[in-house]
Structures are given as structure tokens and as C-alpha cells.
Amino acid sequence: MKRCALLLTLSLTPLAHAQMTMPGMNHGTPMNGSLETLKGRAFDRAFLSMMIVHHQGAVDMSKTVLNNVKDTQVKRWTADILSVQQKEIGQMNTWLKALGGMDKSAQNGMMSEMTGMITTLKANKDSDRGLVEGMLPHHASAIDMASLALQKSSDARVLGLARDIIRTQANEMYVYRQWLIKRGL
């Protein structure tokens, strides 16, 4: 059953990503395009460098709204994002040391992808809705990158992280959409 859900997630990821956009984020494939040409250790280093910046974007989004969210469920999600993604950032930084450190080109490319997210979130008068709507495309892009990692990584830790990102963030996208639907959004 879990395998079927993962395969379904992987098959729907490009469609989901194409349909959800967030102002301030480039939703083309430049970030994945730079990864697609790499393999092995170089891929793992670039992927981790990009995913650290991507996770930090989610942490920054959560911190931006932390004191303004009102919905109890959104507060829990915000706390979960902070906890899980900060822990994963620490793990990825440790793994990167053994791979030669941060890939500055990949890091900078992802930073340009993340530009505008916080500004867009701050502009939304409803912090609950802003975070939930913003995390949908954010998670979709993480799933895209993680799907590529499952195809190209040569590191068991990266493969496990990619699998976990897909599982966790696809499930979160599902509950975020359910939350929005219940509110007629």
C-alpha cells in the first residue's frame, strides 16, 4: 500500500507542481535542471546544498507567521515544520562536510528560487491561509527534487532523506488541501 502511494506521488508530482504556483518563486525547472546533469557524489553535494536552502526557506516562512497564526492546526504545522526541517538541515550540513562542503553554485541557484517567498507571505493578511497556501508549492518543489534524488543519488543517507521528504511532504500537502477545502478556499 505504501509503495503504491509513493509511486502515485512520484507520477503526480510534475502535474501537482505545474498546477500550484507561489508568487515570488520561479516554478520552472532551473533548479532541477542543474541537478539533472549531475550524478554520484557531485549530485549528492548539489542536492544537499539546494535542499538545505529549500528547508531554510520553509523555516523562515514558519518563523514569519509563528506569532500571527490563529488556527490551532496551523500552529501545530508551523511547529512541526520548524522542528523537522531544522533537524534535517543539521543532518544535511553534517553529510555535506564529508562530500567537500556546500556547493555554492547550487546553493545560490536555490536562493534565487526562494526569493520573494517571505515578502509574499508577509503581504497576506491571513497568516494561516498564507502559510498553508505557500507551503503547497514549496513542498511540491521539494518533492520534485527528492524524486530526482531517488533516481540519481549514490548515497544511502540521501536516498533515505529523499524518500522521507516525499512521504512526509506529500502527506502534508494532502492535509493542507483538506484544510483549505474545509474553509472554502
Angstrom distances, CA of residue 164 to CA of 88, 102, 149, 150, 167: 11, 22, 12, 11, 5
Task: In whole angstroms, give the CA distance from residue 64 to residue 59.
Answer: 9
- DSSP-derived letter for residue 185 is -
Tens digits of per-residue pLDDT, 21-79?
444 444 334 456 678 999 999 999 999 999 999 999 999 999 999 999 999 999 999 99
User: pLDDT tier at 180 (50, 70, 90 boundaries)?
Assistant: very high
Is the predicted pLDDT of residue 12 greater than 70, yes or no?
Answer: no
d(C-alpha 149, C-alpha 155), whole Å: 9
Higher pLDDT, 144 or 16: 144
Rounded CA-CA distance 45/59 in Å is 21
What span, in angstroms and rounded, lies between the C-alpha atoms of 141 and 160?
Answer: 18
Give the 3-state secondary structure percentages of the chain, helix then strand then coil, rounded to 5. 80, 0, 20
Angle at 50 between CA 44 and CA 121, to 5 degrees: 155
Sequence spans of domains, the chain:
40-182
CA–CA distance, 185 with 181 (Å, rounded to integer): 6
The C-alpha cell that represents 120 in the structure block: 509574499
| Alpha-carbon torsion (44, 168, 80, 109), positive or negative | positive
Fold of the CATH domain 40-182:
Ferritin (1.20.1260)
Residue 112 CA to residue 120 CA, distance in Å, equals 15
| pTM of this structure | 0.82
Spatial CB neighbours of 171, under 8 Å, sequence gap ≥ 6: none
Tell me the average pLDDT across 146-165.
96
CB within 8 Å of 157: residues ≥ 6 apart: 91, 95
**In angstroms, what CA-CA distances link 167 with 15, 76, 94?**
17, 18, 23
